[in-house]
Amino acid sequence: MSASAEINEIEEGLALQPKFDASGLVTCVATDAQSGDVLMVAHMNDEALRKTIATGDAWYFSRARQSLWRKGETSGQVQRVVEMRLDCDQDAVWVRVEQTGGACHTARRSCFYRAVPFGKGGPVTLEFREDCVFDPQNVYRDKR
């Protein structure tokens, strides 16, 4: 197959052929199915992707721990996938999820709890936009 035919097959085809990076991962964005807010950005390896597709629960691969991980397996803050989308070059996945509690280990609903003011010039001071939605001491205690 020519290079352009191969690109066309990846972009316009019906076959799932994820383009994993050198570490065997694709980027995954999880958004709140109701609000549309981005909850977290994480990674999936082939097994995490397959398990998510098979079960409808969000599975990821932790680069820090180098292990497969079902979101919420220690915290109880699970993600049920409502819809999964794949991007044009098949190296990124978007899951719309029903998030129990909060997605972030800091106990916020979203990992993106700070805004970056822009267009002002000068030094940047982040602005907090979200409160905690659970008690991390309780949720993660004895479970790590």
The Cβ of residue 108 has, within 10 Å, a number of other Cβ atoms equal to 21
CB of 16 to a second copy, least distance (A): 4
Distance of CA 24 to the CA centre of its chain: 16
* Site for a second copy, residues 22 to 51, rule: CB under 8 A: 27, 29, 31, 35-38, 40-41
Query: Does 4 participate in binding a second copy (rule CB under 8 A)?
Result: no
How many Å apart are CA 71 and CA 125, to the nearest integer?
31
d(CA 128, CA 138): 23
Does 55 sit near a second copy (CB under 8 A)? Answer: yes
Nearest to 47 by CA among 30, 59, 56: 59
Binding mask 96-125 for a second copy (x = CB under 8 A): --------xxx-x-xxxxxxx-xx-x--xx
Do residues 11 and 88 touch, judged by C-beta distance below 8 A?
yes
CB 92 within 8 A of CB 21: no
Q: For the segment 123-142, give every residue that binds a second copy (CB under 8 A).
A: 124-126, 129
Report if residue 94 touches a second copy, rule: CB under 8 A: yes
Name the residues that contact a second copy, by CB under 8 A: 11-16, 27, 29, 31, 35-38, 40-41, 52-56, 81, 83-88, 92-94, 104-106, 108, 110-116, 118-119, 121, 124-126, 129
